[in-house]
Structure 1
Amino acid sequence: MWTIPNIVTAFRVLLIPVFVVVYFLDWKWAREAGAFIFWLAAITDWFDGYLARKLQQTTAFGAFLDPVADKLIVAAALLMITHTYETPWITVPAILLMLREVYISALREWMGQRGGSHEVKVSFVGKAKTTAQMLALIGLLSGLEVFMGIPLYWVTLGYVLLYIAAVLSIWSMVIYSLAAWPHLRNAANSDNKSADKL
């Protein structure tokens, strides 16, 4: 169970409380340090997948733990930026992103039980959403617009990318829902037939 990729994934889970505590420290560079830890976690997400394929160490435990780790740290980051900025311009897309994650997780679990998990596997749009979301969160968590007199506009870019991620999340949710629709319709028809028999 404890292969190298799984250890990297477990390390990402352990980074979550560190990330949260550091971000809220009463320290000048706390937000920047928290953003760096989040970035490190995002890098390990790519790294553990690469190692699993390279070392041929794909496991059922890793397939379970990896998306759980991703969703936990992203949910924490979304909650933290809504707390930090306290504006509907951040809160609304953050809620949309969290609702999408819950919906897609439930849909994939249901499809997996029906042997159709391959039909709702991660798409290009889903990967683009994840990339935009991660970059947006790094920028918004850091709070950096200027560093040593150099304009960075990371927060501004974070706002833009957060909305791009929200749009892509809705788009990907529609794609996954359409892929699962035949299964959902068949399940509804089966339920109706069972109800008629009763």
Structure 2
Amino acid sequence: MWTIPNVITLIRVVLIPIFVCVYFLDWRWAHEAAAFIFWFAAITDWFDGYLARKLQQSTPFGAFLDPVADKLIVAAALLMITHSYDSVWITVPAILLLVREIYVSALREWMGSQGVRDTVQVSFIGKAKTTAQMLALIGLLSGLEEFMGFPIYWVTLGYILLYIATWLSVWSMISYTKAAWPHLSGLKN
């Protein structure tokens, strides 16, 4: 259980309350520091999966904890940006992203209980959604539009990527549902 990838995943879980607390500190660079912590957590997500494959240290515990850690930190970040931006243009995509995560998780769990989980394996669309979502959240969490007087437009890019992630999210949810439909409808046993 205490493999290197699992320890990295546990570090990501421990970072969640730290990330939230740092974001709400009354400090000039709090949002930027929290965005950095979120970025670091996103990198560890890629890194723990890579190491699990490379070192052949995949475990049932890791397979369970990794997606849970991802969903927890993303859900926290989505809630934080809806609070900070207080805008329907952030809230609606955030709700759609959260609904998709819950729906697809439940769909995968149900498909797994039926012995056909491979039908709803992670697709390229899902990976593209995750990438766009993580980059969007980093930009929106940071709140940066300029750095040392130079325009960088992180927030603007964050908005654009949030909408791309939302579109990919809905698309992937529909794709997974279509793939699972024969089992859900009882047409396939």
Taking structure 2 as the reference length, the TM-score comes to: 0.98
Matches within 5 A, 1:154-173: 154-173=154-173
Q: Where does residue 106 of structure 1 map in the other structure?
A: 106
CA distance in 1, matches of 2:119, 2:58: 20
Q: Where does residue 33 of structure 1 map in the other structure?
A: 33
Partner amino acid for 1:28? R
Secondary structure of 1:186 counterpart? coil
Is 1:14 aligned with 2:14?
yes
Partner amino acid for 1:119? T
- C-alpha displacement at 1:59, in angstroms? 0.6
CA distance in 2, matches of 1:51, 1:59: 12
Q: Where does residue 42 of structure 1 map in the other structure?
A: 42
Secondary structure of 2:2 counterpart? coil
Q: Radius of gyration: which is bigger?
A: 1
Matches within 5 A, 1:50-129: 50-129=50-129
Q: Percent same amino acid among aligned pairs?
A: 76
Secondary structure of 1:2 counterpart? coil
CA distance in 2, matches of 1:122, 1:150: 38
- C-alpha displacement at 1:186, in angstroms? 1.0
CA distance in 2, matches of 1:2, 1:111: 29
In the alignment, structure 2 segments of 5+ residues that lack a partner are none
CA distance in 1, matches of 2:163, 2:152: 19
Q: CA RMSD in A?
A: 1.1
- C-alpha displacement at 1:185, in angstroms? 1.1
CA distance in 2, matches of 1:168, 1:116: 24
CA distance in 2, matches of 1:24, 1:175: 37
Partner amino acid for 2:105? S
Secondary structure of 1:17 counterpart? helix
Secondary structure of 1:102 counterpart? helix
1:149-196 CA-partner distances (Å, limit 9, x unpaired): 110000000000000000000000011001100100117x99xxxxxx
- C-alpha displacement at 1:36, in angstroms? 0.2
- C-alpha displacement at 1:2, in angstroms? 1.0
Matched positions, count:
189
1:45-65 CA-partner distances (Å, limit 9, x unpaired): 000000000000011100000
Q: Where does residue 153 of structure 1 map in the other structure?
A: 153
CA distance in 2, matches of 1:143, 1:92: 19
Secondary structure of 2:157 counterpart? helix
CA distance in 2, matches of 1:89, 1:174: 22
CA distance in 2, matches of 1:92, 1:182: 30
1:23-57 CA-partner distances (Å, limit 9, x unpaired): 00000000000000000000000000000000000
The 4+ residue runs of structure 1 with deviation greater than 3 A are: none
CA distance in 1, matches of 2:117, 2:56: 21
CA distance in 1, matches of 2:2, 2:108: 25
CA distance in 2, matches of 1:62, 1:147: 38
